[in-house]
Structure 1
């Protein structure tokens, strides 16, 4: 494997163990809106034998997804890798949000009641900056904002984290691949160190991943989905990883991916999503996956690596 693996502090692992013993799921912990106790400073720099654990939209079981609060909490828990989603406003600003509408994770319906269906691409960056992206999750996060990609990159860099960046629904945003690369470059994310160890770009669109590879052949790229084994060699031409939903894979399929060399001549990898419970985490670990993308990274880390 060629991506540095983060370690997680014992405090984070203990929280996952405690949740499991007490029968509390990540979603029930999230509904309580009480984030886990932070790990000690500097956690996340060692090497573990298990799969890499990626904090999906940040530590999104405990803080509002895709916000700066969520990635800060992932950092405090000791997780180096965070995942996000990138879309574009009507005036061309890249922002970090999962849905192509603003309704689920902001108060857009209250602030702009006449703008249904409240699509990201129909609002300016200034309008989106006015929205509360935290209250829907818990009142303690009231006032959290939808971050611009540039602000998000700056925070991830400050936290000394690594980024699994998803280009979301590129069919809605022509040219978003080149624009994303431009912002990454301006933010200092396309130097040799970041490209080699701190950044992966992925998408559900094979055409989008292929274009990113053409524009920046040095970048690590991933396709989100579960192609048939016979189709995998075609993906290996422009991707380094295949990142599938955990319910769609088997150990045999994972071996088929590992048996191919990706766009950079290394064995292809598999990072599966979204796994939030210990039993499923152990199941996909035993299938041989290289990474697990999760809303509850502490729970998964404890399940696959222990103390």
Structure 2
């Protein structure tokens, strides 16, 4: 999917130029919404074990430019890509460390987590897949020339994780001007975490995960560029309300919705005018909404 910046028609938006995500499909002359950006949720996690390098590879094979992931921190301060705050669901940690329940990410070192099989739970074909570090993950994204929607998971468990993430991104070249403009968004369910990222790295595009009341949107717009609700909570009126505000970088607030895995739901939210759809099945959504 390709997204490019375009100017909206003067009749549709009273002469205002609206800048969308880089490389988005052009807005039609009569003001029709462009096809939403398709984002592979935890990689193409409908087809490969979530948050693994294999899921990144599968997203690339499906032609998906944007990949979403989840970042948490180990006992010794390493950033790893895993969704749950426990390793139990998506690894063999119970077998490898049977006496370490409840198997929280924050209670294991990076070396211990690197021993775990993060693929067999999904399919024996992926036996031996590992929980990647953030460095490994962004390297693979770079290899495919993909774009990254990075979620700071459970920030309340990891004080200072925002600064840690930004340091890794900086060290790996992900805070250079081109990536910041076109290939990186940082999001979280934690408003304070999103605000902290904006304060520490004002150039970075940010997203808030949730559905704040419309009356609260001006406060969120001061530090975020996106409001990203669950598709189950979404309405066309809410998307219109979000789009009425300008975000932290002076462009209209965007909406990426999650997690949409079937064609009918994808067409429904696309009809609401969302800017992006986060999905386990990026090929299904792409085929349903175009782009």
Same fold per superposition (TM over 0.5): yes
> Which residue, out of 265, 272, 279, partners 1:287?
272
Structure 2 residue 16 is the aligned partner of structure 1 residue 3: no
Structure 2 residue 233 is the aligned partner of structure 1 residue 248: yes
What is the rounded CA distance, in whole Å, between the counterparts of 2:232 and 2:55 in structure 1? 26
> Which residue, out of 165, 168, 177, partners 2:153?
168
The offset of 1:234, in angstroms, is: 0.4
| Structure 2 segments unaligned to the other structure (5+ residues) | 1-18, 26-32
> Which residue, out of 213, 217, 235, partners 2:198?
213
| Structure 1 segments unaligned to the other structure (5+ residues) | 8-47
Q: CA RMSD in A?
A: 1.2
Structure 2 residue 258 is the aligned partner of structure 1 residue 276: no
Task: Indicate if the aligned counterparts of 1:6 and 1:79 stay in contact, CA closer than 8 A.
Answer: no
**Structure 1 275/131 Cα, relative in aligned 2: closer, same or farther at 3 Å?**
same
Task: Indicate if the aligned counterparts of 1:243 and 1:272 stay in contact, CA closer than 8 A.
Answer: yes
What is the rounded CA distance, in whole Å, between the counterparts of 1:82 and 1:230 in structure 2? 31
The offset of 1:139, in angstroms, is: 0.6
Name the SS of the counterpart of 2:137 in structure 1. helix
Matched residue count: 266
What is the rounded CA distance, in whole Å, between the counterparts of 1:5 and 1:173 in structure 2? 34
Name the SS of the counterpart of 2:255 in structure 1. strand
Partner of 1:43: none
Structure 2 residue 79 is the aligned partner of structure 1 residue 94: yes
Partner of 2:8: none
So what's the TM-score if we normalise by structure 1? 0.85
Name the SS of the counterpart of 1:293 in structure 2. strand
The offset of 1:4, in angstroms, is: 2.7
> Which residue, out of 141, 158, 166, partners 2:143?
158
What is the rounded CA distance, in whole Å, between the counterparts of 1:108 and 1:293 in structure 2? 28
Partner of 2:177: 192
So what's the TM-score if we normalise by structure 2? 0.90
What is the rounded CA distance, in whole Å, between the counterparts of 1:252 and 1:73 in structure 2? 35
Deviation beyond 6 Å, 4+ runs, structure 1? none
What is the rounded CA distance, in whole Å, between the counterparts of 1:49 and 1:243 in structure 2? 18
Name the SS of the counterpart of 1:115 in structure 2. coil
Task: Indicate if the aligned counterparts of 1:260 and 1:267 stay in contact, CA closer than 8 A.
Answer: yes
CA displacement 1:208-241 (0-9 Å, x = unmatched): 0000000011110000000011110100000000
Partner of 1:78: 63
CA displacement 1:103-135 (0-9 Å, x = unmatched): 000000000000000000000000000000000
The offset of 1:290, in angstroms, is: 0.4
Structure 2 residue 117 is the aligned partner of structure 1 residue 132: yes
The offset of 1:158, in angstroms, is: 1.1
Match runs of 1:106-117 below 5 Å: 106-117=91-102
